[in-house]
Amino acid sequence: MKSAWKAFLIDQGAEFEEERLVSFGNPNRERRIAPQGAVLSNLADRGLLEVSGADAESFLQNQLTNDITKIDDKTHQLTAWCSPKGRVIANFRAFKRGQSIFLIMSRDMVETVMTKLSRYIMMSKVSISDATDSLVHFGYAGENAQSDLELILDKVPTEPNQTMSVGQLTILRLPGNTPRFEVFGDVAEASALWVKCNVRAAPVSSQAWDYINILAGRPVITAESTEVWIPQMINLTDIDGVDFQKGCYPGQEVVARLHYLGKNKRRMFNVEITTHDVPKANDSIVLEDGTEVGKILNAVINPDDNVQALVILKIADSEKPLFLAQGETLAAIKVLTLPYTVNDDS
């Protein structure tokens, strides 16, 4: 995190444990604001890679699941990078800023992706660098987020997956029932916008943002879940994260074969778990007799002090009584709806 940005956030009331922003003074209250109330969230704990050079677009086009040629200064997209076996190494939101393509991801995947992806550069005119601390990154979400930002900036992206530049700021509109925007820029412009947004929204830690992200059904692959799931199992094919018309990429044959010839037996669900203890990725979801039928992907405490999570379940068992295995204790699970249509045959 930029030292000037951290100093600014401290002036705004942020409390840190080393480099991690834990709250703005009242974590219990902050957890109960979203998604009904507007929230302003520092996202410096996300990772960011910058891919630049004359061949950056063609290089990524040959590696990622989505059609990277479709992004420009007005459009961003969800995409992923797979192993040759079709397992998702990491997933990203890709956007353009200037002449570079940026990939937003889990911070604990930055070094792995940068190192492994660089092996494929060969003679390409491409540079891959860790841009996590080069840009300020924060989010604004709420039922009136669009109109709030329009009062401040005049124009903002009005549709999901749209990008807009305002001065030196890059603003992304994200999918989901709750209007959400992510902002990238330098300290001066970002802090000025933060102060104006703070009039209408409550500053919160990124935990509230994670909660909204889970409600939106947007998976995040972390170091614990890398190379475990194929795109269909984390619903990437249902949320425009895979383009079946583009050319080849690592794992493409596996992903396409399941899409055209197979039947997906697992997919991602949004659930609420009756427990106060946040599970880790890959913790087991079981039936009452202890049979494992799924695993945790992402989880966070929700406003009701239960756990909200994205989990991967066997579709055939998804309507049975489900539990989170916590040692010898079983925590009850309620399967909730996702804000998009899922094709179980993809």
Q: Is residue 342 part of a domain?
A: no
Q: Is residue 344 part of a domain?
A: no
Residue 304 has pLDDT above 80, yes or no: yes
Percent of the chain at pLDDT > 70 equals: 99
Q: Is-cis flag, bond preceding 219, omega within 30?
A: no
Alpha-helical runs (H) found in 216-342? 252-260
Q: What is the CATH number of the domain that holds 285?
A: 2.40.30.110
Q: Which pLDDT band holds residue 308 (cuts at 50, 70, 90)?
A: very high
Q: Are residues 154 and 187 in the same domain?
A: yes
Q: Are residues 86 and 191 in the same domain?
A: yes
Final residue before a domain boundary, out of 220, 243, 263: 263
Q: Are residues 311 and 216 in the same domain?
A: no
Q: Are residues 139 and 204 in the same domain?
A: yes
Q: Are residues 214 and 70 in the same domain?
A: yes
**Among 167, 179, 184, 177, which Cα is nearest to 95's?**
184
User: Tens digit of pLDDT for each residue in 202-254?
Assistant: 999 999 999 999 999 999 999 999 999 999 999 999 999 999 999 899 999 99
What pLDDT shows up at residue 306?
A: 97
Q: Is residue 345 part of a domain?
A: no
Enclosing domain of residue 311: 265-337
Spatial separation of the C-alpha atoms in residues 29 and 267, rounded to whole Å: 33
**Residue written as token pair 């199992």:** 233
Quick one: which H or E segment has residue 196?
helix 187-197
Spatial separation of the C-alpha atoms in residues 201 and 33, rounded to whole Å: 10
The answer to whether the beta carbons of residues 232 and 64 sit under 8 Å apart is: no
Q: What is the pTM of this model?
A: 0.96
The answer to whether the beta carbons of residues 208 and 34 sit under 8 Å apart is: yes
Final residue before a domain boundary, out of 206, 232, 263: 263
Final residue before a domain boundary, out of 231, 247, 263: 263
CA 172 to chain centre: 13
Q: Is residue 346 part of a domain?
A: no
Number of domains present in the structure of the chain = 2
Strands 77-82 and 292-301: unpaired
Q: Which pLDDT band holds residue 346 (cuts at 50, 70, 90)?
A: low
Q: Is residue 122 part of a domain?
A: yes
Q: Are residues 217 and 322 in the same domain?
A: no
What pLDDT shows up at residue 261?
A: 87
